[in-house]
Structure 1
């Protein structure tokens, strides 16, 4: 059962689920406990961070196909 619980937690973290939601799903008393226990399962965020910033500054295309500010 413990292996299934670990698999579930790691799958949810990999899919981007929040620590707060995962904590509730697992029945932990606080998200802090969940973070301390499962932090080693969290994927590296460097790629997501770079993509978020890149997407923020990338010109958006409007309905007519032209880039807008």
Structure 2
């Protein structure tokens, strides 16, 4: 009987489902029980986490207004900068 539960939990967690839904579905008293029991079944979780962080850190917004952009704009629009 435990094998189908284990399969269900591993499929849901590996698919990226949050912990709360599988916990409720499996009838665990709290999500911590599900985590303690099943997280070892999702070895790709760490890989997905690192990939998500990498995507966030690599995203560049070409319209970003950082300090360098502000300085460049001031040099172009400030007539004193050409003197």
Q: TM-score, normalised by structure 1?
A: 0.70
The number of residues matched between the two structures is 63
- Quote the residue 1:64 is aligned against: none
Map of 2:50 onto structure 1:
50
SS state of the match for residue 18, structure 1? Answer: coil
In the alignment, what sits opposite 2:40?
Answer: 40
Please list every run of 5 or more consecutive structure 2 residues that lacks an aligned counterpart in the other structure: 65-83
**1:29 matched to which residue of 2?**
29
- Which structure has the greater CA radius of gyration? 2
SS at match of 2:29: coil
Aligned to 2:75: none
Alignment match, 2:69: none
Q: Which structure: greater helix fraction?
A: 2
- Looking at structure 2, the residues matched to 35 and 49 of structure 1 have their Cα atoms a distance apart, in angstroms, of 16
- Greater shift in the superposed pair: 17-26 or 40-49: 40-49
Could you say what secondary structure the match of 1:36 adopts?
Answer: helix
